Amino acid sequence: MKSLPYFCRGEVIRGFGRGSKELGIPTANFPDSVVDHLPADISTGIYYGWACVSNGDVYKMVMSIGWNPYYKNTKKSMETHVIHTFKEDFYGEILSVVMVGYIRPERSYDSLEALITAINNDIEEAKAKLDLPEHLKLRDDNFFTSAGSSPSAPPPNTASTSQTIMNGH
C-alpha cells in the first residue's frame, strides 16, 4: 500500500457502542468525513500504528477499517483501539493516528468469542511490530505535536479540524 504510513485526524464520535460493551475492547470512531476520504489503496482490514488524543501521549493502536462482517454493518467505519487504559471517554476530542502497517483483511467469525480472540491477537501483533525501529520513529513524528494545538491556526501543510484528514504532512 503506497499510502502507508497514512496520517489522519478527526473528532471522536459515538460508534455502534459494541467495543466496550460487547467486546471489552473500547474503540474510538472517526466521522464519515474521515472514512470517506481514505485513499483508494487503503483496503478494508486491520491496521496498526500510533494514536494520540488531543495533545496527550502517543500510544500504540490497532484499527479496523471496513464493514465489520460479524455484525453485517452497512456503513464503512474506522474504529481505533488505542492500546492504553483511559480513565474516561473522550468523545468530541481530536484523535490523531498514523497507520503504519497492515495486519490482515476483515472477515466474519462464527462466534463473538472467536472475534474477541482475533482482536486480541491483532493487538499482540501490533505491539510487537510497533517495537521495530522503523515504526518506533513514527511515534515521535511532529504530526502528533501539531494535533490541534490551535484550531484557528493550523500548522503549515496540515489541517486541524475534525472534518479534515491529511497525509504527507
Catalytic residues: 79
Separation of alpha carbons 59 and 146, rounded Å: 16
Separation of alpha carbons 22 and 144, rounded Å: 31
Within 10 Å of residue 140's Cβ, how many Cβ atoms? 11
CB 65 within 8 A of CB 38: yes
Strands (DSSP E) contained in 54-160 are 58-66, 77-82, 94-104
DSSP state of 22: I
Q: Which residues contact 126 (CB under 8 A, 6 or more apart)?
A: 48, 49, 60, 61, 62, 83, 103
